[in-house]
Amino acid sequence: MKTNFQGLTVNERLHAVGLMEEFDQVKNSDKIRAAEILRQIEVDEASIEQILS
């Protein structure tokens, strides 16, 4: 079942799919995994670059 992320913030999306804790753990230490997580919740590439820079 696909989650409808329309109108949700990144944090709300992460929470909705249960990836908030994992993302917080890897966002500074494993940028590749962090980007994979953001793609899973349908964050666009430009936003991923901004979030992880």
pLDDT digits 0-9 by tens, 13-44: 999 999 999 999 999 999 999 999 999 999 99
Q: Is the pLDDT of residue 2 over 80?
A: no
* Count of CB atoms situated within 10 Å of the CB of 13: 20
1 vs 47 pLDDT, higher one? 47
Distance from C-alpha of 24 to C-alpha of 18, rounded to nearest angstrom: 12
- pLDDT value of position 3: 79
- pLDDT value of position 4: 86
Q: Residue 42's closest CA among 1, 16, 10?
A: 10
Do 11 and 20 form a contact (C-beta atoms < 8 A)?
yes
Q: Is the pLDDT of residue 1 over 70?
A: no
